[in-house]
Amino acid sequence: MLHRDIGNFVAALTLVYCISGIAVNHIEDWNPNYQFSQEEINIGALPEGSYPDMQRYVVKSLDIDPASVRGHFMETDSQFRVFLDNTEEVSVDIHTGQGLFKQVKTRALFYEMNALHLNNIKGAWTWIADIFAVLLIFLAITGIFIMNGRQGLTGRGKWFLAAGLVVPVVFSWFVIA
């Protein structure tokens, strides 16, 4: 009964860790935390004058929060770049106003799940994660002994337990070492 109740208690958090684990395992294929996009823009020719004036024009034209601006740079004689928070940027031709708005957005749910899974937030979450790990250890140990007879540890259960142990041992010996 305790095994069932604890299992129900940790079920949602187990799903969070599992989904996040799959996402993080495939980080070479896609970024599970951020989504990158590029939008073509045309804001018209930038005003002649100082670089701060050009920056203000770009920010106002694209309805960007001025507090997110980190700087600007004249890349070439005609290419002006405005740097924003989170590695976002706007690159625009000062004569035509055509350019690119590169944006970074967090992936809904994945960002939060990965922050929990990787314990990026530290503090109290470390204790919650440790308690969760202890509860999973409890579930693993009690789960071994729940079934009796042919279905339990003295029967076919020993083969499943052994198979589960073989996988990390083989990977440790032949892949990691």
Residue 132 has pLDDT above 80, yes or no: yes
User: CA–CA separation, 51 vs 119, rounded Å?
Assistant: 42
For 150, other C-beta atoms within 10 Å of its C-beta total 9
pLDDT at 177: 67
pLDDT at 110: 95
**Residue that the structure tokens 């050009």 belong to:** 54
CA angle 28, 29, 33 (to 5 degrees): 80
Whether 174 maps to a domain, the answer reads no
Whether 156 maps to a domain, the answer reads no
Residue 44 lies in domain: 34-106
Instruction: Report the domain count for the chain.
Output: 1
User: CA–CA separation, 122 vs 129, rounded Å?
Assistant: 10
Work out the percent of the chain whose per-residue pLDDT is above 70.
99
pLDDT at 69: 97
Query: What residues does 83 pair with on adjacent strands?
Result: 71, 89
CA angle 20, 26, 30 (to 5 degrees): 100
Whether 72 maps to a domain, the answer reads yes
Whether 1 maps to a domain, the answer reads no
Q: What is the mean pLDDT of the chain?
A: 94
For 169, other C-beta atoms within 10 Å of its C-beta total 9
Whether 45 maps to a domain, the answer reads yes
pLDDT at 175: 82
- The predicted-structure confidence for 67-126, as pLDDT tens digits, reads as follows 999 999 999 999 999 999 988 999 999 999 999 999 999 999 999 999 999 999 999 999
The answer to whether 94 and 81 are in contact (CB under 8 A) is: no
- The distance from CA 54 to its chain's CA centroid, rounded to whole angstroms, is 35
pLDDT at 49: 85
Q: Determine the average pLDDT of the residues in 24-29.
A: 93
